[in-house]
Amino acid sequence: MQINKEEIRSGNENLREAHKAGFDFLANTLSGQGVDVNAIVQRLADFQVAIPSWALGAGGTRFGRFSYYGEPSSLEQKIQDVGVLHALTQTAGAISLHIPWDVPEDYKAIKEVAALNDIVFDAVNSNTFQDQKDAVHSYKYGSLSNVDKAVRDQAIAHNIEVVEIGKKLGSKSLTVWLADGSNFPGQSNFQTALRHTEDSLKQIYGVLPEDWKMFIEYKPYEPYFYSTVIQDWGTSFMLANACGEKAFTLVDLGHHLPNTNIEQIVSTLMMKGKLGGFHFNDSKYGDDDSTVGSVKPYALFLIFNELVYGMKNNPQNPYPAWMIDASHNVKDPLEDLIQSLEAIQEAYAKALLVDQDRLKAAQLENDVVQCQEILQNAYRTDVRPLLQRARLERDGALNPIQAYRSMGIRQKLVDERGRHSVASGL
Amino acid sequence: MQINKEEIRSGNENLREAHKAGFDFLANTLSGQGVDVNAIVQRLADFQVAIPSWALGAGGTRFGRFSYYGEPSSLEQKIQDVGVLHALTQTAGAISLHIPWDVPEDYKAIKEVAALNDIVFDAVNSNTFQDQKDAVHSYKYGSLSNVDKAVRDQAIAHNIEVVEIGKKLGSKSLTVWLADGSNFPGQSNFQTALRHTEDSLKQIYGVLPEDWKMFIEYKPYEPYFYSTVIQDWGTSFMLANACGEKAFTLVDLGHHLPNTNIEQIVSTLMMKGKLGGFHFNDSKYGDDDSTVGSVKPYALFLIFNELVYGMKNNPQNPYPAWMIDASHNVKDPLEDLIQSLEAIQEAYAKALLVDQDRLKAAQLENDVVQCQEILQNAYRTDVRPLLQRARLERDGALNPIQAYRSMGIRQKLVDERGRHSVASGL
Amino acid sequence: MQINKEEIRSGNENLREAHKAGFDFLANTLSGQGVDVNAIVQRLADFQVAIPSWALGAGGTRFGRFSYYGEPSSLEQKIQDVGVLHALTQTAGAISLHIPWDVPEDYKAIKEVAALNDIVFDAVNSNTFQDQKDAVHSYKYGSLSNVDKAVRDQAIAHNIEVVEIGKKLGSKSLTVWLADGSNFPGQSNFQTALRHTEDSLKQIYGVLPEDWKMFIEYKPYEPYFYSTVIQDWGTSFMLANACGEKAFTLVDLGHHLPNTNIEQIVSTLMMKGKLGGFHFNDSKYGDDDSTVGSVKPYALFLIFNELVYGMKNNPQNPYPAWMIDASHNVKDPLEDLIQSLEAIQEAYAKALLVDQDRLKAAQLENDVVQCQEILQNAYRTDVRPLLQRARLERDGALNPIQAYRSMGIRQKLVDERGRHSVASGL
Amino acid sequence: MQINKEEIRSGNENLREAHKAGFDFLANTLSGQGVDVNAIVQRLADFQVAIPSWALGAGGTRFGRFSYYGEPSSLEQKIQDVGVLHALTQTAGAISLHIPWDVPEDYKAIKEVAALNDIVFDAVNSNTFQDQKDAVHSYKYGSLSNVDKAVRDQAIAHNIEVVEIGKKLGSKSLTVWLADGSNFPGQSNFQTALRHTEDSLKQIYGVLPEDWKMFIEYKPYEPYFYSTVIQDWGTSFMLANACGEKAFTLVDLGHHLPNTNIEQIVSTLMMKGKLGGFHFNDSKYGDDDSTVGSVKPYALFLIFNELVYGMKNNPQNPYPAWMIDASHNVKDPLEDLIQSLEAIQEAYAKALLVDQDRLKAAQLENDVVQCQEILQNAYRTDVRPLLQRARLERDGALNPIQAYRSMGIRQKLVDERGRHSVASGL
């Protein structure tokens, strides 16, 4: 399965005129406000988000899973799925692998498939929250934080193996989501668990190649329901500092307690040079892993406002690794991801429209009303023509969902793979 | 203080051309999608939101209050403030009084001031959450739910007096926000408190004129921190049913537990014909009473989507009473209210753009992706030209905040009233 | 596997003296306060809690499941597990079946096993949140609320079948947990879904035998993450009223938004005669399904305080059906259930100690400090000797966890069933 | 007003026998379990909690305040109130002053009053969240974080003045609760605000005497409702590290988002040697400032479990400063504080009963059930006789609430001070 660029181009034809009119009108308006429209289009085009290999099949809950049709059942197929997304949106030029679900059998072949699809390998992810079939030790009571050194060693070795696999693929970073925690008061000694975790992370950090980064994720709860070892950004930040310069905090939007001001966390981390990675999704209740921008698009915009600010003003912070981390329980996973990519680009475009100079001036005068006007003026702008232009210039689809449907992609995948193929992963 | 329409008109001049271009482009686009743009502009113009008299001065928290300048210190001045808002926005054509803060001394004079400002009297509000100076009984341990009949009787009598005042002003509804609750487990017998409350409400309901409505507000906590007698919509709904056909539930956006799906509550109440009133504000943590649309504009849109649906499909539900119920701690209260009015109109306009027929079709096919596309397509549209047109046609300001500032209204109010005037109320 | 009463008795021997001393001291103290200790012991003995068949194996999360050893793999074995619990605790004399996981093959044989274990059949539970292998229609987009009548009919028929099965076993109630909801704004029309649900429930209600009850569960979220059709007690209560006298609301402790005052809901429902069933568990974040009393034991006590009050003062409310609904991810399920049963009995005993007359008097005087003293005095009492006495008199174990361990029950189950037996269900 | 020890002693007479029986039975039981009862009684006696001067009058909410009778209207009277508490409970031997509410006029005289009441001066608290009458600059838009250097300098100077006052009184620590934050997105630049705050804190830190500590409080929201500069422990910890060895984080139980695992934060901070101070209160919804232990006593126990652990195992952490920080809206403030002190002692006593060695062993074996049993065994113990014994040995009251009432203390205060005296402060 690979998308024919010509088909995208011809699909764009009947939308092109309307797009041109909308873009011209918007560009004219924005230019009149002093906005460099071309620069924004360029930044949108440059913005690439990794797709995690496990998000290409249907997700589920503890109460069950309703499968989808034509799921990719091999790493090659997963890369092809990302290729489809990238061809249509021009903003999904990377895949993030999960080990052991995605161990390549033939590295050379896999890299060729990726290159053919214009896809690079982003951060590699370890898995110590499930027991593998051949595992000697169980992670039921934790992995990097386990009271038993043998278990910790197994988990450390697994992470090191993941780095090795990543090296062969051209990845440059390792993401550690440590699910470890406890379900009941008393089950775990917090200090012991934290100390073990720090030790384990340092051992993994020790084998990291010079040009790699380690991302340390945090999460307040789930899959454990009383405590999580790395429960918040403060803990992750502390651990990253303990490990060293190549260790960073990773922010996943769904990994926060109710009402958390996430944008402030983002801002603090960038100021400290420690925001390494970012996982996009949306949620109403917990770590719902809903489509990006489907529940709280303004919050997403506010977060991007801090990201844009930090990328400009915080040279101490590396360019973050972007990834979608969502679950697709009732939608076609590829359509869901297209909607997520669109929402990310929309929030980014609106954040780029914020007039930072006027905002700063208003802040210095405590003109709160004006500050809000400036943010809302950017947010209320219909930026879809800018997103379209960025795609159009690179032969992406003006309307990716519509293109995906009119090209019958899902049906083609089902034809190729069979109706009841099952994606490895969750 | 009264605004000169001519001044607004002339202030619009330099914005008129840009507005026209923007409106024409949008109207053209929307018409192409089958939208009746004029009908939407008309509905926006018809949508009037009441301003509560207590929202015209600076608000505060339990930790203190930072006052604002030129606050209205009489009912007449409050009406004039609403008049300013209405002149600029053409969408604030009503005031909601709070008794005992706003008892008119001269009803005829007050009604003339209101008429002069094109303002009608919306729901009247009783206050049994504070002790008045001359009160015989204290509400410290509750009012309509108090264990002491004498206290309940005082609170009932107060509500009846509020109705009497409202009748003289032309109000047609009474809003009962019952703050009653308890701070500690055991303090209150839930069943007794609820029974007393039902009895008290029925007595108040008994004196309601035939063409009046009674709105019963609910709230989970604050000012009491363990329990509130009318803690949720279910309790309010039960009480409204017990009272009768003229009793309704009132939804205040800030009166919900974290993550509540408010739009679903709105939908259920309208289906049952029991959504009587609506208090707009926004919040991130609790009943923050922030500017409408400043924190969760998409949630507001989703709520309006249900309101629009209900107003069309639920003839069993009366047209709801709209009011802003916000607090202004760091902004000029009038500017804050202008921003709220704008956000309300924006959400309403976007909800009117939702293609209900296509949405229904997509829902019947369980095409979840398409359902989301339809909502987001409406939401992503920049509807500001529609709002401007609705105002322009009635001699409101194209940009109300800018007009308010360039006309120097706050300074004029300070000049008239003095810098340190204090609004009665909270 | 069946427990030898003699073994329990002899296991109690070395604890008996300490128990007697503790009980005598406590009984003496309480009697001095006017408490009828024997009556309390009797009420504890009478209090029986159903064990759900699905809670006898290890639970899991969407991220995986760590299995336990010797899980029951047949209905007969599940009943035997409950028999073990009941023999030890004398408070688990019922099992609640889940269809289709627990359809008996031989009703007579199953009833004999139950009788042998002194176990009755409590509420039967339907399952329309998962697709069964042979299902014609999928519940992916809902069951009783589905837009498609064929799907609704299938779900209705399933519920009716569940009633039929229950009738053969001697059950007297049907619990409907309707997971139906939506993951994204727009996916579902709230009013249509609610109307379909009401229609479907009425059809099920229509076949209910005269002496049966129907319990309607509510839950704000999970497994759907934007909306749930029956999202709160208000909606369940409305539906129960629409169905009729035999329909009731079921409260599951984990099915509430953060900070909900559950005891107040319990109180209101009992006053209205509509509290039908109760599912015990505990939680810190969401529907964690943790061991009862492991996180918020005081909240459990406050809830029991309302239950005790209602059982005494609300003859309009039937005696509720009690069930544990917890998940066992890191503990031996049987030990976990023993801890839950102990916590329930503890909360119940403490609630029985509340001096209702003095509490009422203090409430009437608004003596808030005294109200709190009365509750805390009951709560701070160490009631374990009362629980022990209730068990001891019925040949249960003085210390059930210790007895379970010293009798080597888990090992016996593994020996009988094999190490890797898997319980049907979640 | 000062309490006559003889009166307390004679009031204890009729309770002494029952106490002795209860204590002997409990001591006997605990000794049998290897507990050193006398050591626990001694630790309870040693545990002293500071009373904040502002908690001695009635508190209120933004909706109003219901005053109490006989409130202390001078610093001298406040110290006397704490003296009353200490005489009765023997656990309130310190007062925490708030400047500018409590600036002594005559230091010598005030210190004599304190000495007479056996009260020492705990941490002094600065106030930059309200404008004082003679203030040159307003804190409306922040203090230590303000964009205006002049405002920051005023706030810094105020803190330095507070230290000066504290030095004269014998205080050894400064508590900085920085309310600074913003109400709306865009109002504040997070990075600028944080940088200013760090600079300001360092300046204050610079004048700290060698033997002083600085406590940096955190809070997620209120009185600002979009962001707070020091929003969580991570931020406070970062700032404390930036300031130096004498700077510490202060944990206030009410200053957390819903469902936060506070005990884990406590544990982490102690491991890092940075838990400086602790503010006790309880809450159901937000920063409710309810009586300690009135809502979540088990959570308090779990926190004390970590405190006890840390005090034993973390020599790197100084002995924390304990204070109650509650509000008294519907209770007599002194009775409320007595209930808080009792709840603190109870939680502490239960935590001291936790068998740390067995707990550690169970944790190492991942015997989760046993871990829970150990905690619950301690928690379920009725420790009131231990608290009584600690008081009795120091001539405190066996039942402080009852003693306070039977001695008619409130009436005496009213007689001395007048019914409508008003406490300075909130």
Query: How do residues C343-388 score in pLDDT, each as one tens digit?
Result: 999 999 999 999 999 999 999 999 999 999 999 999 999 999 999 9
CB of C335 within 8 Å of any CB in chain D? yes
Q: What's the whole-number mean pLDDT along residues C60-80?
A: 94
Query: Residue A94 in contact with residue A121, Cβ under 8 Å?
Result: yes
Residue C163 has pLDDT above 70, yes or no: yes
D220: how many CB neighbours lie within 10 A of its CB?
Answer: 24
Q: What's the whole-number mean pLDDT along residues D74-103?
A: 96
- Residue C277, pLDDT score: 95
Residue B4 has pLDDT above 90, yes or no: no
- Residue C4, pLDDT score: 87
Q: What's the whole-number mean pLDDT along residues B152-174?
A: 98
B157: how many CB neighbours lie within 10 A of its CB?
Answer: 12
- Residue D424, pLDDT score: 64
Nearest to B152 by CA among B205, B198, B218: B198
- Residue D2, pLDDT score: 81
DSSP conformational letter for A63: T
Locate the chain C residue with the closest alpha carbon to D26: C22
Residue whose token pair is 């009795």: D392
C-alpha B399: how far from chain center: 22
Alpha carbon of B211: minimum distance to chain C alpha carbons (Å)? 27
Alpha carbon of A373: minimum distance to chain D alpha carbons (Å)? 9
- Residue A426, pLDDT score: 55
CB of B422 within 8 Å of any CB in chain A? no
Query: Residue B327 in contact with residue B59, Cβ under 8 Å?
Result: yes
Q: How confident is the model at residue B419 (pLDDT cuts 50, 70, 90)?
A: confident
Subunit partners of chain B (3 or more CB pairs within 8 A): A, C, D
- Is pTM beyond 0.95? Reply is yes
DSSP conformational letter for D258: T
As given in the structure block, the two tokens for residue D303 are 């926190």
Rounded Cα gap, residues B229 and B139, in angstroms: 14
CB of D66 within 8 Å of any CB in chain C? no
- Nearest by CB to C381, from D297, D373, D382: name it: D382
Nearest to B221 by CA among C376, C52, C259: C259
Count of A-C CB contacts under 8 Å: 107
Residue A82 has pLDDT above 60, yes or no: yes
- Nearest by CB to A330, from C131, C141, C283: name it: C141
Q: What's the whole-number mean pLDDT along residues D339-360?
A: 98
Do A188 and D363 make contact, defined as CB atoms within 8 angstroms? yes
- Nearest by CB to B331, from A25, A368, A379: name it: A368
- Residue D425, pLDDT score: 60
Residue A85 has pLDDT above 80, yes or no: yes
Subunit partners of chain C (3 or more CB pairs within 8 A): A, B, D
Residue C215 has pLDDT above 80, yes or no: yes
3-state SS of chain B: helix, strand, coil percent to 5? Answer: 50, 10, 40
- Residue C133, pLDDT score: 87
Locate the chain C residue with the closest alpha carbon to D23: C25
Do C285 and A330 make contact, defined as CB atoms within 8 angstroms? no
- Residue B2, pLDDT score: 82
Name chain A contacts of C231, Cβ cutoff 8 Å: none
Rounded Cα gap, residues A295 and B267, in angstroms: 18
- Residue B288, pLDDT score: 97
Count of B-C CB contacts under 8 Å: 147
Name chain B contacts of D285, Cβ cutoff 8 Å: 220-222, 225, 286
Rounded Cα gap, residues C58 and C68, in angstroms: 6
**Distance of CA C348 to CAs C31, C44, C322, C382, Å?**
18, 8, 12, 12
Do C260 and B258 make contact, defined as CB atoms within 8 angstroms? no
Name chain A contacts of B258, Cβ cutoff 8 Å: 258-259
C177: how many CB neighbours lie within 10 A of its CB?
Answer: 23
Name chain A contacts of D375, Cβ cutoff 8 Å: 185-186
CB of B186 within 8 Å of any CB in chain D? no
pLDDT tens digits for D211-265?
A: 999 999 999 999 999 999 999 999 999 999 999 999 999 999 999 999 999 999 9
The full length of chain D comes to 426
CB of D283 within 8 Å of any CB in chain B? yes
If you average pLDDT over every residue of chain D, what do you get?
Answer: 96
In chain A, what are the domains?
48-352 (3.20.20.150)
- Residue B149, pLDDT score: 98
CB of B253 within 8 Å of any CB in chain D? no
Burial of B32 (0-12, 13-18, 19+ CB in 10 A): exposed
Q: Which of A61, A62, A289, A292 to mutate to test the interface with C (most CBs of C within 10 A)?
A: A62
Q: Give the CA-trace dihedral at A107, A113, A114, A116, to 10 degrees.
A: 140
Q: What's the whole-number mean pLDDT along residues B215-241?
A: 98
Q: Establish whether this prediction's ipTM goes over 0.90.
A: yes
- Residue B424, pLDDT score: 64
- Residue A424, pLDDT score: 63
Do A296 and B296 make contact, defined as CB atoms within 8 angstroms? yes
Residues 148-177, chain A, touching D (beta carbon < 8 A): none
Q: How confident is the model at residue B420 (pLDDT cuts 50, 70, 90)?
A: confident
Nearest to B363 by CA among D34, C193, C326: C193
**Distance of CA B175 to CAs B78, B99, C105, C309, Å?**
19, 11, 60, 33
Alpha carbon of C80: minimum distance to chain D alpha carbons (Å)? 22
D120 strand-pairing partners:
D94
Locate the chain A residue with the closest alpha carbon to B384: A380
Residue C426 has pLDDT above 60, yes or no: no
Alpha carbon of A265: minimum distance to chain B alpha carbons (Å)? 16
Query: Residue B11 in contact with residue B242, Cβ under 8 Å?
Result: no
Locate the chain C residue with the closest alpha carbon to B365: C147
Name chain B contacts of C368, Cβ cutoff 8 Å: 182-184, 187
Q: What's the whole-number mean pLDDT along residues A225-232?
A: 98
CB of C190 within 8 Å of any CB in chain B? yes
Residue B422 has pLDDT above 90, yes or no: no
A227 strand-pairing partners:
A182
CB of B287 within 8 Å of any CB in chain A? no
CB of C368 within 8 Å of any CB in chain D? yes
- Residue B423, pLDDT score: 73
As given in the structure block, the two tokens for residue B322 are 């709209």
If you average pLDDT over every residue of chain B, what do you get?
Answer: 96
- Residue A425, pLDDT score: 60
- Residue B421, pLDDT score: 80
Q: What's the whole-number mean pLDDT along residues B219-244?
A: 98
Rounded Cα gap, residues B317 and C301, in angstroms: 41
- Residue B425, pLDDT score: 60
Do C64 and A222 make contact, defined as CB atoms within 8 angstroms? no
Q: What's the whole-number mean pLDDT along residues D199-203?
A: 98
Alpha carbon of B73: minimum distance to chain A alpha carbons (Å)? 23
- Nearest by CB to A189, from D190, D221, D363: name it: D363
Do D62 and B62 make contact, defined as CB atoms within 8 angstroms? yes
Percent of chain C at pLDDT > 70 equals 99
CB of A296 within 8 Å of any CB in chain B? yes
DSSP conformational letter for A320: P
As given in the structure block, the two tokens for residue A3 are 């998308």
Q: What's the whole-number mean pLDDT along residues C138-149?
A: 98
D283 strand-pairing partners:
none
pLDDT tens digits for D45-54?
A: 999 999 999 9
Rounded Cα gap, residues D345 and D297, in angstroms: 11
pLDDT tens digits for B78-130?
A: 999 999 999 999 999 999 999 999 999 999 999 999 999 999 999 999 999 99
As given in the structure block, the two tokens for residue B272 are 């049952």
Q: What's the whole-number mean pLDDT along residues D124-135?
A: 94
